[in-house]
A and B are shown apart, each in its own frame.
Chain A
Amino acid sequence: MTEAQTVTVLFFAAARDAAGTAELLLPVSGAGTLAELQQRVLQQLAGLQRMQSMLLWAVNNQYAVPAMTIGPGDTVACFPPVSGG
């Protein structure tokens, strides 16, 4: 499988701890929605489900809504509310 057929999902802070991994490569056959990908991530990494409602999602370095279209080569990030400063 080449990178072009996958979506990379990155996890940070408490989401990484709950996921048990910092990165997940998900095979995709074409364009889909972020919402569909979220369901796959949560099914695959059950540890994330307890914090599901607080998770924030970004696609290619921008905050994203569930209806956003994503496809092969995109980078998705999943993390809890930010606490910098």
Chain B
Amino acid sequence: MIYLTDQPLDYTAITESVRDPVAGAVVLFLGTVREFTAGQQTEQLEYEAYGEMAEASLRQLAAEASTRFPIVKSAIVHRLGVLQLSDVAVAIAVSTPHRAEAFAAGQWLIDTLKQRVPIWKREHYTDGRVQWQHPSVVAGDSPGSSEVQRDD
């Protein structure tokens, strides 16, 4: 289950999609809209994607994760459009035979998604400012410092 959507994420269904008798562990990661980042107050977030490349990139991510971890099933869904505080922007579910690999795989998937997948967020602050977020990192490279890095 890999897709982009402008609808609220059904993270119960996303979690169910990775459950399997072979797996003894399921980890679900949700990235949610945070109100305060570096002292600035967010009113809403807006996500945009290069849809075609982003979906291809998410599929590559899932395939690469399966070579790194003993993944039974994985699911990655990212929401686009305008999101309000606490809305779920991204859901990643992964199942593995044992818990340690499930946590590690989930962490790798969200970290790598944030470095590679062509999706951008634009902050709408409570003071009326609207600003694209652009971490100053090179794609495929390790996370670095940023202008205002959200780590959600």
Contacts and interface: CB of A to CB of B under 8 A. Distances in A.
Contacts of B121: 83-84
Contact of A79 (B78, B116, B120, B138): B120
Interface residues of A, number: 19
By secondary structure, the A interface counts as mixed
A80 B120 contact: yes
A26 interface: no
Given A83-B135, A84-B78, A63 B113 contact: no
A54 B136 contact: yes
Interface string A57-68: 010011100000
Given A13-B132, A63-B140, A82 B52 contact: no
Contacts of A62: 53, 56
B131 to A, nearest CB: 9
B115 A83 contact: no
Interface string A19-52: 0000000000000000000000000000000000
Contacts of B117: 82, 84
Interface residues of B, number: 35
A13 B54 CA distance: 14
B47 interface: yes
Nearest to A60: B53
A73 interface: no
A39 B75 CA distance: 39
A80 B132 contact: yes
A82 B47 CA distance: 11
Contacts of B22: none
B124 interface: no
A52 to B, nearest CB: 14
Nearest to A56: B139
Interface of A: 10, 12-14, 17, 54, 56, 58, 61-63, 77, 79-85
Given A63-B140, A83-B120, A85-B31, 4 more contacts: A58-B118, A81-B138, A82-B116, A84-B113
16 contacts: A13-B132, A13-B134, A54-B136, A77-B50, A77-B118, A79-B50, A81-B137, A81-B138, A82-B120, A83-B121, A83-B132, A83-B133, A84-B78, A84-B117, A85-B31, A85-B119
